[in-house]
């Protein structure tokens, strides 16, 4: 029977369409992106083409050259040189396009796939995220920082070279504010973090857990919005990503490798988006918000009902999806 499930973190309802559900393997990508070369002369992110980017903000280097670079986006959605001001015209409000938009060039190899980054490579990237998050939030005009990676053309990437982005805004996005409101209401009513409670119940039930270690848990939530939509939660309560410790970075690197390799082999390298969700920058650490990483494989299409209602139809059972990924066999040596 079809059922409706509620996402406890957002209070949104999801239709789990069991009568229309596909078997997990049926979501495997049938159309792969064209293979890329190891080096591209026209790619601004390749080694030797550093002059094609704006001056780097920071980098991680070794004796043979750079491993990770951070550069301002050449075509930014928002720019730090723009005036930080707003105006009202009747009930219409607007702001100048102030903000920060950076690109994290994750690897010097043009065709490297994130699923096959080494654990050390992921650790470098996660440290860069932490450093840039900490530095950008010092600007009191910034209210929200979103760190995200688009993998594959279906996920919105326009440059094949592996990279992620950091976009800092002078306003709190509505989706972030909604989660804050739900979390604060739950805390006021129950004296507990709703994220910690959700994680506690998922770990006790185990049906939707993909990987559970000392510092993190990877799972497909009870009311997943779409097939294989997953969360990676820090088990320790932390409200801001820049609170992540070195031990946690090592553990989170393991989770990313574990999950992305299962996506690659189990669903034939699907496009996906991942986002780090953290508190607004002006918020001090608190007891009711909890940062986490969300990964959304692009294995289905958002259609009219979702756009018209804001309610999603998930045609994959979260429990079956989690079991499928747990059982994916990873070839030796990867």
Catalytic residue numbers read 163
Distance in angstroms between the alpha carbons of the first and the last residue of the chain? 40
Integer Cα distance of 69 and 163 in angstroms = 9
How many angstroms separate the CA atoms of 310 and 140, rounded? 33
Task: Let me know: does 21 contact 317? Beta carbons within 8 Å.
Answer: yes
> Which residues fall within 8 angstroms of residue 42, CB to CB, at 6 or more apart?
none
Report helix, strand or coil for 71. strand
Angle between helical axes of 119-136 and 246-267 (0-180°, round to 10): 120
CA distance linking residue 74 with residue 56, whole number of Å = 11
Cβ atoms 214, 235 nearer than 8 A: yes
Read off the DSSP letter of residue 98. B
Distance CA 201, CA 179 (A): 19
- In what side-by-side order are the strands of the sheet with 230-234? 58-62, 65-72, 100-105, 163-169, 144-151, 272-277, 292-297, 230-234, 216-219, 209-212
């Amino acid at each position: 029977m079809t059922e409706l499930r509620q996402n406890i973190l957002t209070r949104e309802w999801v239709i789990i369409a069991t009568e229309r559900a596909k078997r997990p393997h049926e979501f495997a990508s049938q159309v792969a992106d064209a293979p890329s070369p190891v080096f591209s002369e026209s790619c601004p992110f390749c080694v030797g083409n550093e002059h094609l980017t704006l001056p780097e903000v920071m980098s991680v280097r070794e004796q043979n050259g750079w491993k990770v670079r951070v550069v301002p986006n050449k075509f930014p959605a928002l720019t730090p040189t723009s005036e930080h001001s707003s105006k009202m015209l009747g009930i219409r409000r607007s702001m100048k396009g102030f903000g920060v938009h950076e690109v994290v060039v994750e690897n010097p190899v043009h065709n490297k796939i994130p699923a096959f980054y080494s654990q050390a490579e992921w650790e470098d990237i996660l440290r860069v995220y932490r450093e840039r998050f900490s530095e950008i939030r010092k600007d009191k005009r910034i209210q929200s920082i979103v760190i995200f990676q688009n993998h594959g053309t279906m996920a919105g990437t326009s440059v094949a070279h592996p990279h992620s982005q950091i976009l800092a805004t002078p306003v709190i996005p509505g989706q972030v504010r909604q989660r804050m409101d739900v979390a604060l209401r739950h805390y006021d009513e129950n004296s507990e973090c709703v994220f910690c409670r959700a994680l506690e119940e998922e770990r006790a039930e185990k049906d939707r857990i993909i990987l559970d270690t000392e510092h993190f848990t990877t799972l497909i939530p009870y009311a997943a919005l779409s097939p294989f939509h997953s969360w990676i939660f820090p088990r320790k309560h932390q409200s801001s990503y820049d609170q992540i410790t070195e031990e946690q970075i090592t553990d989170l690197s393991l989770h990313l490798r574990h999950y992305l390799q299962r996506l690659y082999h189990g669903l034939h390298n699907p496009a996906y988006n991942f986002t780090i969700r953290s508190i607004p920058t002006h918020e001090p650490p608190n007891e009711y918000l909890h940062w986490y990483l969300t990964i959304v494989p692009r294995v289905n299409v958002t259609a009219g009902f979702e756009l018209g209602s804001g309610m999603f139809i998930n045609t994959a059972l979260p429990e079956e999806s989690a079991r499928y990924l747990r059982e994916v066999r990873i070839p030796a040596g990867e």
